[in-house]
Amino acid sequence: MKIAFLGGGNMARALIGGMLGKGYDRSSICVIEVSTPARERLASELGVHVSAAPDARTNAADVLVLAVKPQDMRGALEGLSGLDQKLVISIAAGVRVDALSRWLQGHRKLVRCMPNTPALIGEGIAALYALPEVSAAQRQQAEGILRAVGEVVWVADESLLDPVTAVSGSGPAYVFWFIEQLAASGEKLGLPKTTSLKLAMHTVLGAAKLAAQSDKSPAELRKQVTSKGGTTEAALNVFEQEKLAERMMKALQAASRRGAALGEELGGD
């Protein structure tokens, strides 16, 4: 499988690095990147073929990954040709497949995905949506590329990518915020700043790993560490009194609505 990337930013570099780490042939990957410093960095760090515009190598690719910024997507796709049966994967947040198809002269072999920033260290998760014209083999190709930097799930309806964005696309920011608040609270209770931050970070990291590796649900794991009349119960009671679950839902609803609105804005003519 020959893969071309349109855009060589952080997520493209993460995907390429992940694929190389999984044993992909370096000569089968190429990148179209308009920035000279970015081209030089890609060539030196990853050793892949890089060009300022489509060339014979990129045109021969089986898969084209769209990795430019959402607001730059339409302009970047102008003049692209020769897609034929090529699979096109977009990792640009908010840009819907109907807009991509329109900008690509009706091309329908399209997969849209929503990755997240932990992909930069190989610990991401991406949700993928494919148009009906994408074959089973091409779905496997898309999944293989995204699995190079983490886990993959599929959604049956493109509209579900808005709540996906709210949960996992924006989700790392919520976790960073929680670590920040947990550490700040520990510091206010008398812990040294560095100690409190280390406790907060490793508590979140360890709890997430435990949840991921356990056959118990997060609710069951929470109950296991919540003794009647104990310290954990005291804290959780405050969460309930302050209606944190309802506030979390409101926050994710706001993020999901904004994702839908961005789709309308970015896809407009």
User: Residue 101: which CATH number?
Assistant: 3.40.50.720
Note the pLDDT of residue 191: 98
The verdict on 78 and 191 lying in the same domain is no
Cα atoms in the 13 Å half-sphere on the side-chain side of 236: 12
The verdict on 88 and 221 lying in the same domain is no
* pTM, entire model: 0.91
Note the pLDDT of residue 269: 65
17: left (phi over 0), alpha (psi -120 to 50) or beta: alpha
| Residue 204 near residue 178 (C-beta atoms within 8 A) | yes
The verdict on 85 and 136 lying in the same domain is yes
Sheet holding 87-90: strands in order across?
49-51, 29-32, 3-6, 63-66, 87-90, 110-114, 124-130, 150-154
- The number of folded domains in the chain is 2
**Residues spanned by the domain of 241:** 171-262
The verdict on 76 and 152 lying in the same domain is yes
Q: Can you read off the two tokens belonging to residue 241? A: 């009194």
The verdict on 23 and 74 lying in the same domain is yes
Containing H/E element for 111? strand 110-114
Placement of tokens 């179209």 in the chain: 32
The verdict on 251 and 126 lying in the same domain is no
Note the pLDDT of residue 268: 74
| Residue 125 near residue 97 (C-beta atoms within 8 A) | no
Note the pLDDT of residue 78: 85
Q: What is the mean pLDDT of each run of 10 residues along the chain (269 residues)?
A: 94 94 94 94 94 91 95 89 90 93 94 95 96 97 96 97 96 98 98 98 97 97 96 97 97 95 85
The verdict on 148 and 178 lying in the same domain is no
Q: List, in sequence order, the alpha helices (H) in the chain.
A: 10-21, 36-46, 56-59, 73-77, 97-103, 136-147, 161-164, 171-188, 193-213, 218-224, 231-241, 244-267
* Residue 267: inside a domain: no
Burial of 217 (0-12, 13-18, 19+ CB in 10 A): exposed
